[in-house]
Amino acid sequence: MTYRELIDVLVEAIEILGTAVIVVGGLIGGVRAAVGLVRGTDLVYTRLRRELGHAVLLGLEILVAADIILTVAVEPTLDSLLALGLLVLIRTFLSFSIETEIEGRPPWRAHRARSRTAEPTGSPV
């Protein structure tokens, strides 16, 4: 087996893993939503969207890793690096959009939202 064949097999396995994460996460979210419907839980739709969103985010991260490995390890040409940059840019935009949709605020505001809800730990010095 040549180096290129080994990398191709590795990248294909990582891509399958990324796709499986999205599919399995969607199925788990669907089952949990169905259980929530049976139990009469009010937040079924919100929970399903959140769980599916998290599965898609994780799957996208894994797929980006596969693209990086393929581009850097096998085809480090200017064209392949530009294509990788475009893919990463698009997937990053998708990730930010999905996370904003799930959390209801941009990711860079998460710290501010957590600090507002935190309990004071003591008196100021």
**Predicted confidence (pLDDT) per residue in 49-105, tens digit:** 888 989 999 998 999 899 888 888 877 788 888 888 898 888 888 888 888 888 877
User: Based on the number of CB atoms within 10 Å of its own CB, is 7 exposed (0-12), middle (13-18) or buried (19 or more)?
Assistant: middle
pTM of the model: 0.73
Q: Using CA atoms, how far apart are residues 27 and 121, in angstroms rounded to an integer?
A: 41
Domain boundaries, the chain: 3-105
